[in-house]
Amino acid sequence: MAGIAKGAAEQALMEAARRVLPGGGFGNFAPDIVVAEGQGGHVRDVSGNDYIDYLLGSGPMFIGHNHPAVTAAVLAQIPRGTTFFANSEPGIRLAEAIVDAVACADQVRFVSSGSEADAYAMRLARAVSGRPKIVKFEGGYHGMSDWGMMSLAPKRLANFPEAVPDSAGIPDAIRNEVLVAPFNDTEAAVRLIEARAQEIGGVILEPFQRLIPPKHGFLAAIREVTARLGIPLIFDEVVTGFRFAYGGAQEHYGVTPDICTLGKIIGGGFPLAAVAGRAEMMKHFDRAAVAEDGFLMQVGTLSGNPVAAAAGLATLEVLREPGAYEGVFATGRSLMDGLTGLIHEAGIPAQVVGEAVMFDVVYADGDMRDYRAICRQDTAMQKHVNGVLRARGILKGESKYYLSTAHTAEDVAQTLDAFRAAMASLPATRRVA
């Protein structure tokens, strides 16, 4: 990879990884980098190469790596104990902060990952409603459970509402328990929910689906139909919680669900996630509050871990500082605008899609309203541009820029220089006539 030299130590670690890890990695990011450290909006690999980090650990590091307030909170908690399997003050205080911030949250139940949170939220909705099926939206990511892995990124585009499994090992029976609707198609989604209401235990969606903002009125329409028919509505805010606003996407878009899931930012870089919701629904986690057949058992060895909760509390305190959100949104808009200008200058069929704190370049024309529209993009061009960016010290996911409060105007300028070089490297045949 031109511009990024790999030293002997990093090459040896990658070789060791190939021996002991399937595919040579943790199953997350490409295994051709071994990160040694992070500071603010940058990371450094074992070979000493510095990268502007738009991966941000897949989103948790919203205030940057090694923030002094978070580091201090963690170092203060560790000598007091790292896990108890019992209540602790940091976890209780973090739950209070979430309830104060998030519109739908009367109570909180902690887990260790977003996948757990989404799986329990869907189970909670079924426990509340007494009905078996879950409605999700094609292309929506709701963790690694059998239900979550339905029609996340289907290679075969089935007729709605048929669900397509995205992994081996999922029983065929699960396909019959998930109904799939097109995101941003209000008429189709409402029609499905109304027609199958007697079977639907819950509706789950990302209010901002991967990169795709909701069309005006779409979230409100899903809220209206689910409320009218008594179907619990779940917002998966593992990604958007405390990122789009202090109150999450439900504050940003002005629509309140019954239940939401949270993760990433609330753990401050440590494994922690949560289900939050209305008290009359959350009581199903309390054996004393419901009949035995309504009790939802949930136990996790590290749920509410005090070190993670301390990190999360410190992160939220930073985000409450005046100007925190205004600053990161301004940085993100600056980068989005710069990328859009370079795309137009290069004359390629592409556009910037998303919100200022989370977006990417999609290499296609037209309205990017749903998963099938995103599938039209030129993935070869996407891969080429991402490769040029990596070679010039820009670390991002395959299809996302995450912005942090630690990114600077200098980072934006360097990123735009790298993207300009990527545009210049494209063959003339890729350009619009």
Q: Is 48 exposed, middle or buried (0-12, 13-18, 19+ CB in 10 A)?
A: exposed
68-319 CATH fold: Aspartate Aminotransferase; domain 2 (3.40.640)
Closest CA to 117 of 149, 83, 151, 142: 142
| Sequence-separated (6 or more) residues with CB below 8 Å from residue 163 | 136, 150, 151, 174, 175, 178, 179, 180
Q: Both tokens of residue 308?
A: 């993670």
Residue with tokens 């650990």: 57
Report the amino acid identity of residue 121: A
Q: What percent of the chain has pLDDT over 90?
A: 97
Per-residue confidence (pLDDT) for residue 431, from 0 to 100 = 59
Return the active site residues.
141, 236, 264
Domain with CATH 3.40.640.10 in the chain: 68-319
User: What's the longest Cα–Cα distance across the chain?
Assistant: 69
* CA dist list (Å): 246 to 25, 249, 250, 356: 34, 9, 10, 15
Phi, then psi, of 200 in degrees rounded to 5: -85, 120
Tally the C-alpha atoms within 13 A of residue 427's C-alpha that lie toward its C-beta: 5
Tens digits of residue pLDDT in 269-322:
999 999 999 999 999 999 999 999 999 999 999 999 999 999 999 999 999 999
Tell me the C-alpha distance between 306 and 302, whole Å: 9
**CATH hierarchy code of domain 8-66+324-430:** 3.90.1150.10
pLDDT at 2 over 60: no
User: Would you state the structure tokens that stand for residue 109, as one six-digit string?
Assistant: 């139940």
Q: What percent of the chain has pLDDT over 70?
A: 98
- Region 200-217: mean pLDDT is 98
Q: What is the mean pLDDT of the chain?
A: 96
State pLDDT tens for residues 215-272: 999 999 999 999 999 999 999 999 999 999 999 999 999 999 999 999 999 999 999 9
Q: In this predicted model, what pLDDT tens digit does every residue of 60-115 receive, in sequence order? A: 999 999 999 999 999 999 999 999 999 999 999 999 999 999 999 999 999 999 99
- The single-letter code of the amino acid at 28 is N
- Per-residue pLDDT of 151-181, as tens digits, reads 999 999 999 999 999 999 999 999 999 999 9
pLDDT at 427: 85
In the chain, CATH 3.90.1150.10 covers: 8-66+324-430
